[in-house]
């Protein structure tokens, strides 16, 4: 992705004390260019001074450090992203504070976010959209089984990362709105200001739009459905002049059937999108895995080659998750055997509660 010019009007200054290019954060990282700006902070390219390795550093703006909601969003982002280990979730490698402002260090991704891609190309060919969403669902499955619900899935939080010599890899960003819940329970819709959810409402589920207190993994699957709807049609399912009209439409009206917008879309893919966007969450897919299977099955109708490749990837993903599970079980057994009974000190993993 291009490095933005911090002085451009697209990058509004929120604090005079914001560090810029060249400044050193946490005594270890030198900031280079600005990669992106969100509501509460900035993402910079950063060089680790010790070895010159490049990362992406997200830092909370000084003005926002007084906002307890924003600070706790930041802390939960690290815990949530690390709990859900998946190559489709951006890796966080360090956390710290600099001059009172929390920061986190991520793997540096190259490419563009899906929001930029949609702005550039309008629609995305169905077989490519399916592959992007398949990878989002693979990352989400890891998050959901770890008890993490993202709650802010939207094109800007999906990164299409290019890799030299291998196919591009989709990464979910920004677990700042997420909540960690014990598996099998529902969670309160926290981190909202006066009952109004933060951020764009375009991809919110009906239960989020209604500020219900028990939003769960099925809400993320609705948001994925809304993202896929936009990829294949060029517009989100619910649109409106203001946030309030969008929220009202999501709460009260069913999303249009995707074939009303793109009549020629393969019916099996349309069925997956329509089911993900059901207002009643019990009518949606029950898990990211279930939605992924239906999506991959739908590719048979799209284009033979893309469909075969997606199905092969799903089969390989299944085989490798069984293999990884077996490796973890063997490693855990040998660790338990080797572990001294008296315990001992252990390093706190990055992002865990300190
Ligand atoms: N690891 C990364 N590598 C490259 N660019 C990134 C990275 N993380 C975020 N960005 C860019 O910065 C933007 C904002 O990042 P995000 O984590 O979503 O922050 P916010 O919480 O402010 O929305 C993203 O949409 C993306 O374009
Ligand atoms: Mg974001």
Enter the pTM of the model.
Answer: 0.79
Q: Cβ distance 171 to 88 under 8 Å?
A: yes
Which residues, in sequence order, are CB contacts of 33 under 8 Å at separation 6+? 3, 4, 6, 21, 44, 45
Q: Which residue in the list 113, 152, 156, 174 is annotated as catalytic? A: 152
Ligand 2 midpoint to CA 38 (Å): 6
pLDDT above 80: residue 197: no
Protein residues with CB under 6 Å of any ligand 1 atom: 1, 35-36, 38-39, 41, 43, 56, 58, 90, 106-109, 113, 156-157, 159, 173-174, 176
**Cα distance between residue 148 and residue 183, in whole Å:** 9
Question: Which ligand 1 atom sits closest to the C-alpha of 116?
Answer: 27
Q: What percent of the chain has pLDDT over 70?
A: 74
Residue 173 CA to ligand 2 center (angstroms) comes to 7
Which of 1, 3, 6, 35 to mutate to test ligand 1, by most ligand atoms within 8 A of the CB atom? 35
Look at residue 223 and tell me whether its pLDDT is greater than 90.
yes
**How far apart are alpha carbons 103 and 319 in whole angstroms?**
37
Cα–Cα distance list, 45 to 19, 39, 48, 106, 179 (Å): 12, 18, 10, 10, 27
* Res 301 pLDDT > 80: no
Q: Which tokens is 134 given?
A: 């398949």
Above 50 in pLDDT, residue 287?
A: yes
The preferred substitution site among 36, 40, 72 for testing ligand 1, maximizing ligand atoms within 8 Å of CB, is 36
pLDDT of the residue at 326: 47
- Percent of the chain predicted with pLDDT > 90: 56
Ligand 1 center to 332 CA (angstroms): 34
Ligand 1 atom index nearest CA of 176: 21
- Residues with CB in 5 Å of ion ligand 2: 38, 157, 174
pLDDT in tens, 172-188: 999 877 776 554 444 33
Q: Is 214 a known active-site residue?
A: no
pLDDT reported for residue 316: 53
Report d(CA 269, CA 298) in Å as an integer.
5
Mean per-residue pLDDT over the chain, rounded: 80
Ligand 1 atom closest to the Cα of residue 36 is 12
Residue 4: CA count within 13 A, CB half-sphere: 18
Lowest mean pLDDT among 13-17, 130-134, 175-179, 301-305: 13-17
- Give the mutation target among 44, 112, 173, 203 for probing the ligand 1 site: most ligand atoms within 8 A of CB: 173
Residue, of 346 and 59, whose pLDDT is higher? 59
Mean pLDDT calculated for residue range 280-285: 98
Other CB atoms within a 10 A radius of the CB of residue 99 amount to 13
CA nearest ligand 1 atom 24, residue: 36
* Length, in residues, of the chain: 354
- Name the residue with the closest Cα to ligand 1, atom 23: 38
Q: Which of 9-18, 86-95, 329-338 has the highest mean pLDDT?
A: 86-95
Give the mean pLDDT of 252-273.
Answer: 97
Cα(123) to centroid of ligand 1, in Å?
A: 22
Residue that has been written with the tokens 């793997």 in this structure: 107
Domains and CATH numbers, the chain: 2-10+17-107 (3.30.200.20), 111-297 (1.10.510.10)
pLDDT band at 352; cut points 50, 70, 90: very low
Report the chain's terminal Cα–Cα distance, integer Å: 34
pLDDT for res 325:
43
Let me know: does 238 contact 253? Beta carbons within 8 Å: yes
Per-residue pLDDT at 196: 39
Q: Ligand 1 mean position to 160 CA, how many Å?
A: 11
């Amino acid at each position: 992705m291009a490095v933005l010019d911090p002085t451009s009007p697209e990058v509004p200054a929120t604090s005079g004390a914001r560090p810029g290019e060249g400044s050193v954060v946490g005594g270890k990282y030198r900031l280079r260019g600005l990669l992106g700006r969100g509501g509460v902070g900035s993402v910079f390219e950063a060089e680790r001074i010790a070895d010159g390795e490049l990362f992406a550093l997200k830092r909370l703006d000084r003005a926002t450090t007084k906002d307890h909601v924003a600070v706790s969003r930041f802390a939960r982002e690290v815990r949530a992203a690390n709990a859900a280990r998946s190559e489709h979730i951006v890796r966080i490698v360090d956390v710290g504070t600099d001059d009172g402002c929390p920061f986190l260090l991520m793997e540096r991704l190259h490419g563009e976010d899906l929001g930029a891609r949609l702005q550039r190309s309008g629609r995305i060919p169905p077989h490519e959209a399916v592959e992007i969403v398949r990878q989002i669902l693979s990352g989400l499955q890891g998050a959901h089984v770890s008890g993490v619900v993202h709650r802010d899935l939207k094109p800007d939080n999906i990164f299409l990362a290019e890799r030299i010599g291998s196919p591009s890899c989709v990464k979910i960003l920004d677990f700042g709105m997420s909540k960690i819940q014990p598996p099998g329970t529902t969670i309160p819709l926290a981190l909202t200001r006066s009952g109004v959810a933060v951020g764009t409402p375009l991809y919110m589920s009906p239960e989020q739009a209604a500020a219900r207190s028990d939003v769960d993994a099925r809400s993320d699957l609705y948001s994925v459905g809304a993202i896929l709807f936009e990829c294949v049609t060029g517009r989100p399912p619910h649109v409106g002049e203001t946030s309030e009209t969008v929220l009202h439409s999501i709460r009260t009206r069913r999303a249009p059937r995707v074939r009303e917008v793109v009549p020629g879309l393969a019916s099996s893919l349309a069925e997956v999108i329509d089911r993900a966007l059901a207002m009643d969450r019990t009518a949606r897919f029950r898990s990211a895995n279930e939605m992924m299977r239906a999506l991959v099955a739908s590719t048979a109708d799209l284009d033979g080659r893309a469909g075969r490749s997606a199905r092969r990837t799903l089969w390989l993903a299944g085989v490798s998750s069984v293999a990884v599970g077996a490796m973890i079980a063997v490693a855990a057994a040998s660790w338990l055997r080797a572990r001294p009974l008296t315990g001992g000190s252990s390093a706190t993993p990055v992002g865990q509660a300190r």
